[in-house]
Structure 1
Amino acid sequence: MKALTELAKRRGFFFQTGKAYGGVGGFYTYGPEGATLKSTVESTWRDRWVTREGHDEIDAPTILPEAVFEASGHLDGFDDLLVECPECQSSHRADHLIEDQTDIAEAESFTPREIESLLAEHEIECPSCGTPLAGEPVEEFNLMFETAIGPGSTNKGYLRPETAQGIFVDFPRLREYARGELPFGVAQIGRAYRNEISPRNAIVRTREFTQAELELFFDPESDDPPLSRVANVEAPLYSAADQDGDGEVHFEAIGEAVESGPIADDWVGYYVGVATEWYERIGIDLDRLRFRQHQPEERAHYATDCWDAEADVSGPDEEPNWIELAGIANRGTYDLSHHAAHTDERFSVFQEYDEPRTVERATVDPDMAALGPEYGSQAADIAAALEELAETDRSAFEGDSVTVELDGETVDVPIEQTGFQVAEVTERGQHETPTVIEPSMGIDRTVYAILVHAYDEDEIDGEHRTVLRLPAEMAPTLVGVFPLMDKDGLGERARELERELRAAGLATTYDDSGAIGRRYRRQDEVGTPYTVTVDYESLETDTVTIRDRDTTEQVRVPMAELPETLAALRDGERTFEQL
């Protein structure tokens, strides 16, 4: 991490924001190289998860009113475990201290009281000053950033901790765009915010970050995933059973893993396959990637199955250091049902039957002429409660009166005033709340893992070299253009060639500073896969040399064919060996 962070700062991938003012933990700026790499990651995600899957994309606000997060459960349950040092007043995530200073993994699943016991049992110390933390209280700290919407503080809002809620709250409108037909998916790439207790590891854990999320809405009774597309994809799986025993990560075809286990959900399995293909495309080493299945006690209460994509970002000769890149979960109907319960909107889809059905239906027709004078402004609420009760418990209407609950109080309504009856009706369909599958991916952590897996050090002609072996598609710059030296017209021809390549849509850079070997090293260090040198032979034959970053081999290519050749190399249509 130290070597990569230094390279990132020096070469413009990422660095801490606002160092002139001392900087604030958890906020990072992407420099010219990093911003381009991050943008490319987002573009490839959009290509694979939106365009090729036939889904839609939205861009929702990053601030939403408090009521949204009351309904979603974030205000009550979006917490981390906080412990403060009594000596230096530093704040720490207590579960991280347990994981860092013991062999205990996944300490996040423990309760605050259990964490307090572990702090004492293992004699955990403050990493800032060494003070023992035994006996210090562990509290739940909500990670939401609070703000006020408009003047004053009466209209409270929060910065979103995930992009998903922007999709869920607008489901009634998005359903219309999908013409009410399941399955359909809605994706979003955008910023999210979490007031982390102790941000760390550069862009791995920050307070402002970018997520790419897909919410797929489907009917579990009739909508099956296109598993055949990924059935033969070999994914690195680490199941719950493997974690309980002595099992290790093993590669298994998605089709087999879904059919016989361990993947319990067909749609989750499908997206594990899609994710495997995408990660390999963007430069994640599959031998340093695993899909880890959540243990039952680890899953959110609404999730029926969940697998995390995790990447090993350790250095050579270090113990594996796994960081979470993504979560792929079946969220059930939790989100849509909760928003439906907190609003007057339908968060469901009307599903037509193959043929109309005749069923018995209990209905009410409250006598408002009687309820109005007796209950005043409460009459409408009583009528609504009667309608809901008729749908859920018709036996409540078997006596002389029916009891409904209103604002914590009970109201008895005479049966003759309810207009209750049971009649046969013909129905063409019913409203059903879709089930949701969610692949949620952290873009910043993905960028970090790509850089770690691309980072290498070797020796060329007796000289040490640092190189980022990025896939050509992902490299911030595709080709560097050099004159052998800036004289005798070589510089002018090289600048002209660089402009021609840029006009052809290729990401280029020009460099005539210093020895050409040093220029090669600069481009190797930022992952530029190809460099083109204009030499004296170029002026005579209209050819140039292309140098391959990974092998350092060079071949001559006609200048007229250069744009087409470089584009084919970038897009994987040709290999350097084929030149």
Structure 2
Amino acid sequence: MSERTEGERLAELAKRRGYFFGSNAAYGGAAGFYTFGPQGAALKSNVEEAWRDRFTVKEGNLEIEAPTIMPEPVFEASGHLDGFDDMLVECPECGESHRADHLIEDETDVEDAESYPVEEVESLIADNDLRCPNCGAELAGESVEDFNLMFETNIGPGSSTPGYLRPETAQGIFVEFPRIKEYARNSLPFGVTQIGRAYRNEISPRKSIVRTREFTQAELEQFVDPERDEPDLSSVEDVEVVLYPAEEQQKDDGEYVETTIGEAVEEGVIGNAWVGYFLGIAQGWYERIGVDMDRFRFRQHLTGERAHYAADCWDAESEVDGDWIEIAGFAYRGDYDLSKHGEYGDDEFTVFRQYDEPKTVERAVVEPDMSVLGPEFGGQAADIAEALETLAERDPDAFEGDEVTVEVDGEEFAVDADVANFRVEEQTIAGEHITPHVVEPSFGVDRTVYTLLAHAYSEDEVDGEERTYLSLEPGVAPTDVGVFPLVSNVEELIDRSEDVVEQLRDAGFSVVYDDSGSIGRRYRRQDEVGTPFCVTVDRDGLEGDGPDSVTVRARDSGRQVRIPVSELVGQLRALSDGDRSFDEVAQQYEEVTADA
């Protein structure tokens, strides 16, 4: 068997068989950009559709598609302009830029260097005598700088309206919340999903499609009332998971915690029930699409790497080539996002919470006398009146003196208390406006595709010949069925094969027809791209006394059974959907000796 690394084997197969390859090779390429070939685009599309089915359709959520370019104020409000940075160190000799935390993780025993402060990262580079991977020059003493990862552009002619390519799909959901909540009848909880492209100007893209500058995310933003809404854990409480809590990561002999979602939430290992719910859903989904659960875990963020707005955050991680890669994140974001957009934007990012019964409350009210404010303060009178109303809600005691002071645009104004017309009155209210909290499961589609290919890659021997095959689940494999005439120069077999292709395509299967080369070679080609089943049309199936039949071959085992053509669609559907195993089909029909 091959002694190449898992990543090398996968990269070679991906390029040769049309899964993915570096883009723009005719012009020298550009690091961090990949094209998905025919097989890869189909696999990626199937993963997206499987995600949509589980996290949008089955959860009863809404789906939107927002623009990938958004104006600068959106990212000023979200905090991306100031805080969406990675640590960059530049080689003094060749000028190559490197991501400092990755250098440390690659060359030392330090894990999660991203969570370290800049000063400590600089010390680690010096203490470990780290050098430029490009030219070997010393990096000790070089400054580590924060580098903002967003791609900047201009909206329209000139440079008067700056914008950015979105670094995540989430902001498109948050900024449209005032409209989307109407579609959800202003009733919490509700979820909004989006699958789309995101862009990050990575310092050092690496590991093919694992870390790129353009990628696809599938994100769900679940909006909840933090005081009233709890998830129904009954459907996931018995789901078994492997957890790597922060507490265990910080121990010298830290271990995984093998438990169930219900136990982990009850014992506080998972601190938020909503996060626990989505971890349970994700565990089942990853298993169904073909992730190797022996190479999968949920890792809790350490305090230093957790976003400032996240009360708790876990990553779904898969092991590939000896490394753990993040393929999804699950964060409890609180009310940070909607509060920030409510502060910066010109719309209401709240939801009205209806009380069970109306309440009588005391409410501070001001009705400024504009006939006095207008002549005295001119054009600033309206802003001063608004400031008085805001102050009354926040600090009623400020109106106890003869005059009250408010601040507008950094300038203080004194207003007579009589002019402010402050009073406290009883009001009957039916409810209140609250800012929902957000729970966010965010999936990297490209990284999921990479994981599926890596975990599905297998090598064995058939009749003394080495075989490579991708053991992809039928639900995500790029092609459902391969159809071949056993002999490629017999018109009757070719015509019948084409009829079978048409029949299967009409039934909704993705089908490839192949009559080139020996039947064994054709099987090998489909095995290597992960096609689960191959149908072969031969003379025995057409010349017998019974109805026309074909052989159906299972990719992983190479076993074949003979099935009547009239029953082919139904049996392939049952096999593809997992309603029947190949063993069950083989017990019903004649098993035949497999061709090479």
The normalised TM-score by structure 1 is 0.98
Contact 1:172 1:346 in 2 (8 A): yes
Tell me how far 1:250 sits from its aligned partner.
Answer: 3.6
Correspondence for 1:38:
44
- 8 Å CA contact 1:236, 1:286 repeated in 2: no
What is the distance in 1 between the residues matched to 2:339 and 2:509? 48
Alignment-derived partner of residue 240 in structure 2: 234
User: Deviation of residue 146 (structure 1)?
Assistant: 0.6
Q: 1:321 aligns with which of 320, 323, 327?
A: 323
Q: Say whether the 8 Å CA contact 1:331–1:436 is kept in structure 2.
A: yes
Match of 1:193 in 2: 199
* Structure 1 unmatched ranges of 5 or more: 315-319
Contact 1:357 1:426 in 2 (8 A): yes
1:254 is displaced (CA, Å) by 0.7
Distance in 2 of aligned mates of 1:195 and 1:372? 51
Task: Read off the aligned partner of 2:129 and give its amino acid letter.
Answer: E
1:57 is the counterpart of 2:60: no
Greater Cα shift, 113-122 or 139-148: 113-122
Query: Which one of 498, 508, 512 corresponds to residue 511 of structure 2?
Result: 508
> Per the alignment, in what secondary structure is the counterpart of residue 385 of structure 2?
helix
Matching residue's letter, 1:124? L
Structure 2 equivalent of residue 447 of structure 1 = 449
In 2, the alpha carbon distance for the partners of 1:419 and 1:42 equals 59
Q: How does 1:125-144 map to 2 (within 5 A)?
A: 125-144=131-150
State the alpha-carbon separation in 1 of the partners of residues 447 and 521 from structure 2.
31
| Aligned match of 1:364 | 366
Paired position in structure 1 for 2:279: 272
From 355, 358, 380, give the equivalent of 2:357: 355
Which whole-Å CA distance do the structure 2 matches of 1:438 and 1:490 have between them? 54
C-alpha deviations, 1:152-199, integer Å up to 9, x for none?
101111110000101101111111111110001111000110111111
SS in 2 for 1:450: helix
Does 2:157 align with 1:151? yes
Per the alignment, residue 418 of structure 1 pairs with 420
What code does the residue aligned with 1:535 have? Answer: D
Q: Is the 8 A contact 1:237 1:249 kept in 2?
A: yes
Cα displacement (A) at 1:137: 1.2
Contact kept in structure 1, 2:115 and 2:302, CA below 8 Å: no
1:492 aligns with 2:495: yes
The amino acid of 1:378's aligned partner reads Q
Cα offset for 1:560? 0.9
Out of 536, 539, 542, the residue aligned to residue 539 of structure 1 is: 542
Distance in 1 (CA, whole Å) between partners of 2:501 and 2:543 is: 18
1:341 Cα deviation after fit:
0.7
Contact 2:150 2:199 in 1 (8 A): yes
Give the C-alpha shift of residue 346 in structure 1. Answer: 1.4
Q: What is the CA distance between 1:383 and its match in structure 2?
A: 1.1
Distance (whole Å) between structure 2 residues aligned to residue 470 and residue 344 of structure 1:
48
Q: Name the aligned partner's letter for residue 312 of structure 2.
A: D
**What residue in structure 2 maps to residue 330 of structure 1?**
332
- Separation (CA, whole Å) in 2 of partners of 1:325 and 1:150: 35
Q: In structure 2, what is the Cα distance between the partners aligned to 1:179 and 1:128? A: 56
The Cα of 1:244 is off from its aligned counterpart by 2.0
Q: 2:35 aligns with which of 29, 46, 58?
A: 29
Deviates more, 1:286-295 or 1:53-62: 286-295
Which residue of the other structure, out of 204, 209, 225, is the alignment partner of 1:203?
209
State how far apart, in whole Å, the 1-side matches of 2:513 and 2:428 are. Answer: 74
In structure 1, the partner of 2:593 is none
Corresponding position of 1:475: 477
Moved more, 488-497 or 365-374: 488-497
Q: Secondary structure of the residue that 1:54 maps to in structure 2?
A: coil
Other-structure match for 1:317:
none
Displacement, 1:390?
Answer: 0.8
Query: 1:260 matched to which residue of 2?
Result: 267
**Alignment correspondent of 2:304:** 297
Q: CA deviation at 1:449?
A: 0.4
How far is the alpha carbon of 1:297 from its aligned partner? 2.5
CA shift, 1:411, in A, is 1.5
Shift of 1:450: 0.6
* SS at 1:161 equivalent: coil
CA contact (8 A) 2:90 2:97 kept: yes
Name 1:382's counterpart in structure 2: 384
- Give the Å deviation of 1:32: 0.4
Shift of 1:111: 2.0
What is the CA distance between 1:478 and its match in structure 2?
Answer: 1.1
Which of 6, 21, 30 matches 1:15?
21
Q: Per-residue deviation at 1:251?
A: 2.9
Q: C-alpha separation between the residues in 2 aligned to 1:355 and 1:272?
A: 36
Indicate the SS of the match to 1:128. Answer: coil
User: Which of 3, 16, 38 is the equivalent residue of 2:9?
Assistant: 3
RMSD over aligned CA atoms reads 1.0
Partner Cα distance (1:34, 1:344) in 2: 42
**2 CA distance for matches of 1:51 and 1:173?**
21
> Which residue in the other structure is 1:456 paired with?
458
SS at match of 1:271: helix
In structure 1, the residue matched to 2:433 is 431
Q: Distance in 2 between matches of 1:170 and 1:388?
A: 26
Q: Secondary structure at the match of 2:152?
A: strand
Deviation, 1:303, is 0.9
Q: CA deviation at 1:487?
A: 2.8
Q: Which runs of 5+ in 2 are unaligned?
A: 1-6, 586-596
Q: Aligned equivalents of 1:356 and 1:66: distance in 2?
A: 42
Q: Once the two structures are superposed, what CA deviation does each residue of 1:363-395 show, in whole Å capped at 9, x if it has no partner?
A: 111111111122212111111111111111111
Residue 112 of structure 2, aligned match among 94, 106, 113: 106
Once residues 450 and 236 of structure 1 are traced to their aligned partners in structure 2, the CA distance between those partners, rounded to angstroms, is 19
The one-letter amino acid paired with 2:397 is: S
- For the residues of structure 2 that align with 1:159 and 1:135, how far apart are their CA atoms? 34
Q: Which runs of 4+ in 1 moved over 3 A?
A: none
Aligned partner of 2:103 in structure 1 is: 97
Q: TM-score, normalised by structure 2?
A: 0.95
Question: How far apart, CA to CA, are the structure 2 residues paired with 1:573 and 1:202?
Answer: 36
Q: Aligned partners of 1:376, 1:343: CA distance in 2, in Å?
A: 26
Residues 238 and 248 of structure 1 are in contact (CA less than 8 Å); yes or no, is this contact kept in structure 2? yes
The alignment partner of 1:203 has SS state of: helix
AA matched with 1:288: R
Deviates more, 1:484-493 or 1:535-544: 484-493
SS of the residue aligned with 1:298?
A: coil
Residue 296 of structure 1 and its aligned partner are, at CA, apart by 2.3
> 2:289, 2:476 within 8 Å by CA — same for their partners in 1?
yes
- The one-character-per-residue Cα deviations of 1:109-150 (angstroms, maximum 9, x if unpaired) are 122222111111110100001001011111111011111111
Residue 269 of structure 1 and its aligned partner are, at CA, apart by: 0.2
User: How far apart are 1:298 and its partner, in Å?
Assistant: 2.2
